[in-house]
Amino acid sequence: MYLTSLQILKITALLPTYILQLVCVMAFTLISTASIANSEFDRFPLNHQNKGDSIGKYVDYYLAPQQQKDIHDMINLPSELWQSSNQSVPSFSLVTGDIWLRIKLENQDHQRTKKILHLDYALLDYVEVFYSYGNSTDYSDHYRTGSIYSYSTRPIGDSAFAFPIHLGPSQEVTVYMRLQNDGFIQAPITVWDEVAFYENRLMSQSLLFAFIGILTALGIYNIFLFLSVNEKTYLLFALLAISTSALVSISSGVSIQYLGLDLKTWNERWMTVCLGIMTISGALLPIVALRLKYTLKPYYYICNTIALLGVWIILSAFILNHSTRIGAAFAITSVSIVLINILSIHLWIKKVPGVRLFTISWGLFLFGGAIMILNRLSILPRNDSTEYLLVYTSLTGLFLLSFSLANRINSAKLEQERAQTTSLKLMEKFYNLFQNSLEGIFTITTQGELIEANPALCNMLGYADIDELKSSVKSDKLFSDHDLKNIMKQIREEGEVRSYEVQGKRTDGSNFWAAVYLRTDQFNANGSEVFSGALLDITHSKESQLKLEYLADHDPLTGLYNRRKFMSSLSEAIKNYQNKNVDSSVIYIDLDQFKVVNDTCGHTAGDKLLKELTATMSDLIPLGSCLTRLGGDEFAIILSGYNEESSYQFAEHMRQTISNFQFPWGDLMFSLGASIGIISINDDCSSVEYVHSLADTACFAAKDQGRNSIHIYDHERGEAQALKSEMHRVSEINQALENGRFVLHQQLIVPTKTGAYSGYYEILVRMTNRANEIIPPGLFLPAAERYNLMPAIDQWVVENYCQWLIKHPEHLKELNRASINLSAASLNDVSAINFIINCFHENNIPPEKICFEVTESSAIINMDKSLPLLRRIRDEGFNLALDDFGSGFASYGYLKNLPFNVLKIDGCFIRDIANSHIDKTMVKSINDVAKALGMSTVAEFVENDTILEIINDIGVEFSQGYGIAKPLPLDSLINETIDL
């Protein structure tokens, strides 16, 4: 059901013609009214030509709202109290009380005549007619009828009110009418010849029936359309058409005449209900048809408000009196039609597709409604022209509206079909992706039961096909109860699950790791919630991560906890003492004579000794305490719940165990001793570094006592003697800083593949004594670190290296990269970092030529402080190298979050790589991870060609060590020819 563009154009072109015709009719009527109003007729002449003559101009009226008047009062009422209507159709607004009308008729034929006086307003509650012939002061004939009476009381069967008049030749009659109504009152009175009346009523009733029938049929047809396609627009239009039809039936009296519905209250209420339904359906139609919710929100809310007012109109039919509710209903309905027209015109101006016909149809409907309202308010006269125009405009508007809605629905259906076609194509693509994806895709219930899965998930779990997988998972859910609980909690809180790691088991019994991605999908047929997700097999990377996480806290040789774990456990012990008053002690152990084994039998023997000895030592460690290897032959134990006395007893037992340990190697048998220092944690132990320093001091004191002994640090004495030598070192460092007794050295770093000089080296610092003899860094750096002198040394190195580069601009040009070590203290000192960065900027040294080396423990031990400074260094353009990676084995989880672009593999893995498959595997793993993260790699401790060849095969980019080049003074880069 739609109109072609040509038909729409024709209708649009004819619309001004209709409007012009209406204006002409109105003008003609008004002119006629004005001319007749100036004439005065005492009586209306009756003759054989009376065929619907309007006698409104001959009507006098009297309003009697305050007191009741009977017919005798009105017959005797003085003429000056009667008022002339001067209207073709006498009309009265909402009036309470009686309205009396008086009409004088005279038969001018010379024979007896039969006429019918027709009052064409079917909604009058009470009509009483009196005939007074000649000059009589009494009445002869009398009729009483109205909507409050049964239809059978009407003298002539008609949808309105018709009364017979029989007059003899030249006979006069005065007709008195008494009218009552709760609503508007109109008196369209006409005089008809009897035969002409019935002919006219037949024609007008036929036209009215056609109008009502067309509207009703249109509504029923749209109801069937709604039931067949479930389109709300059809239902709303059907309600609009049927309610309009019912309103016309009631207001024209057809419902009374032919349906027998002559109950006044029923008619009045249902007229209000019809107006309410018209308002609701008319307001909701644009919302549904024009999708106002998605196009124009303000009009969407306006139309919804109008619809709510329509509901109020319906409710008022059973609450308010008729005169109040009918006035309000007409006002609201009129306003709603005007607003809908404004809306449609606005959308037409905005060139919304398909809205032009909608606008024209509502315009015609508004035009018809305006005629009816102006007619009922007596602003426009009521005659055949206005009545026909009312019918035709309303009917045409509804037809065009029907076509407009059908057009939009058909367009929407085409769009929906296109969308469905597109959706099917997308679903086909998704299905292919689902079937061929490398990830395991699945759908599960909230209880973890599997609904759907793709082939990749079957392969991951070891099943032959989906049916086998489903049947198995019915009894064994896809996730464990613990994992399922965590997954459901996360999806409720965050709306989805990303990278949740689970461990599963394949059908062959092997374990695997997978990352879960999950989100709420939909509701299945029984209304329960389901989830869609994917499993990504991360077994290889997870196993590597778990291995590295283990090594992050464990010594790779002995399996004991390492220095990193020791420092964190010591921090926890200090907090437990401060917060919970839990006693703890630190046992610091240094093996005596271990160096003899290494020097006599080599590192292999030394490694074997350490493995066997630590296994024996571990058997003595009580529950809740931990044994750690700090490095080389140094160990530490944190005893939880031990005071000083019990700690000494434990230390003595440990010393005796170590002393009794025998290590055979070939024909040799070795015995060891242990120098043990004990420090009890008390109120003075404010930091990990402080406690560590005291334990180291106590162990040093035990060595000074002659080794293989135990020394308990005395907090009260302060152990000044034990610290004297260390303080001497501190004094020497301060003097060296003041007197410039530090010197810069360099050690080359070369590409592993070529082994040639590439302008890449590491800056090293050395200290000289007063005799200008070199002091190795191992003799002064530990004291500098312990007493926070490292930032000053770092700043001296940076400042002096910058000055050296300025003196040698040719070298600066060919420089590729220079690595400078940053201590943990500098890395946690904002002012030190500022000084270092500014030094390079002020001397115009390109930051990309500088690489700062940071040890693994420095970067991780206080990450909250160090990480922002590391990121700032990278943002300034400098390179960052993670030094000694592997000594503490930070996990890859840390590595991928740190801003390093160079990774230096610790020498403990490089030194024996030719003889250790484990070392080789670890180096390869570290190198692979570094490459994946976009980092270049440097191997330390490359001491011979065999090691160089192995790391070259692994793919390590750069090499450093005595097998490449020994440390030399910095000036050697200028004064000597570099020969590798």
My answer on whether 463 and 563 are in the same domain is: no
Query: What 3-state class would DSSP assign to 895?
Result: helix
Across 140-155, average pLDDT: 86
Residue 40 — very low, low, confident or very high, per pLDDT cuts 50/70/90?
very low
Helix (H) or strand (E) holding 712, with range, is strand 710-712
Query: What 3-state class would DSSP assign to 736?
Result: helix
- pLDDT of 18 reads 38
- pLDDT of 893 reads 64
Number of domains in the chain: 4
Going by C-beta distance under 8 Å and a sequence separation of 6 or more, which residues neighbour residue 244? Answer: 215, 274, 278, 394, 398
- pLDDT of 187 reads 85
Please report how many Cα atoms fall inside a 13 Å half-sphere around the Cα of residue 971, on the Cβ side.
Answer: 3
My answer on whether 956 and 834 are in the same domain is: yes
CATH number of the domain bearing residue 113 = 2.60.40.2380
Residue 339 counted as domain residue:
no
The phi, psi pair for 893, rounded to 5°, reads -60, -40
My answer on whether 709 and 680 are in the same domain is: yes
- Domain endpoint, select from 653, 686, 718: 718
Query: Is residue 587 within 8 Å of 678, Cβ to Cβ?
Result: yes
Across 508-523, average pLDDT: 74
> Does the pLDDT value for residue 38 go beyond 70?
no
d(CA 825, CA 146): 108
> Does the pLDDT value for residue 757 go beyond 50?
yes
Of residues 852 and 769, which shows the higher confidence score? 852
> Does the pLDDT value for residue 476 go beyond 60?
no
- The residue assigned the tokens 């390492």 is 562
My answer on whether 826 and 711 are in the same domain is: no
My answer on whether 594 and 665 are in the same domain is: yes
My answer on whether 173 and 44 are in the same domain is: yes
My answer on whether 642 and 746 are in the same domain is: no
- Domain endpoint, select from 182, 203, 224: 203
Q: Which of 385-394, 615-624, 648-657, 969-978 has the lowest mean pLDDT?
A: 385-394
- The radius of gyration computed from the CA coordinates of the chain, to the nearest angstrom, equals 54
My answer on whether 699 and 745 are in the same domain is: no
Which tens digit of pLDDT belongs to each residue from 422-455? Answer: 777 777 776 677 667 767 777 777 776 777 788 8
My answer on whether 551 and 533 are in the same domain is: no
CATH number of the domain bearing residue 966 = 3.20.20.450
Across 84-99, average pLDDT: 78
Q: Do the strands 742-748 and 760-768 form a parallel or antiparallel pair, or are they unpaired?
A: antiparallel
Instruction: Write out the DSSP string of 465-490.
Output: SHHHHHHHHTTS-SS-HHHHHHHHHH
> What is the token pair recorded at 907?
């020498």
Q: Which domain holds residue 858?
A: 734-975
Which tens digit of pLDDT belongs to each residue from 698-718? Answer: 887 888 777 789 988 877 665
- pLDDT of 534 reads 81
Residue 525 counted as domain residue:
yes
Residue 414 counted as domain residue:
no
Residue 358 — very low, low, confident or very high, per pLDDT cuts 50/70/90?
low
CATH number of the domain bearing residue 450 = 3.30.450.20
Residue 188 counted as domain residue:
yes
CATH number of the domain bearing residue 667 = 3.30.70.270
My answer on whether 569 and 687 are in the same domain is: yes
The phi, psi pair for 460, rounded to 5°, reads -60, -40
Q: Describe the strand order of the beta sheet including 51-54 as a list of residue ranges.
A: 51-54, 189-193, 113-119, 161-167
Task: Show the 3-state SS of 223-266.
Answer: HHHHHHHCCHHHHHHHHHHHHHHHHHHHHHCHHHHHHCCCCHHH
Query: Is residue 121 within 8 Å of 179, Cβ to Cβ?
Result: no
- pLDDT of 162 reads 92
Q: Which of 136-150, 403-417, 501-515, 840-854 has the lowest mean pLDDT?
A: 403-417
Across 386-397, average pLDDT: 68
d(CA 272, CA 332): 11
> What is the token pair recorded at 614?
């630590």
Going by C-beta distance under 8 Å and a sequence separation of 6 or more, which residues neighbour residue 305? Answer: none
My answer on whether 466 and 584 are in the same domain is: no
Buried-state track 597-608, b at ≥16 Cβ within 10 A, e below 16: bbeebeeebbbe
Query: Is residue 454 within 8 Å of 435, Cβ to Cβ?
Result: yes
Residue 818 counted as domain residue:
yes
> Does the pLDDT value for residue 23 go beyond 50?
no
Of residues 288 and 820, which shows the higher confidence score? 820
- Domain endpoint, select from 691, 718, 745: 718
Which tens digit of pLDDT belongs to each residue from 544-563? Answer: 777 777 777 888 888 899 98
My answer on whether 686 and 814 are in the same domain is: no
Across 804-824, average pLDDT: 93
- pLDDT of 732 reads 85
User: First and final CA of the chain: distance in angstroms?
Assistant: 93
d(CA 963, CA 913): 14
Residue 211 — very low, low, confident or very high, per pLDDT cuts 50/70/90?
confident
Of residues 381 and 788, which shows the higher confidence score? 788
Residue 837 counted as domain residue:
yes
Residue 216 counted as domain residue:
no
The phi, psi pair for 446, rounded to 5°, reads -65, -20
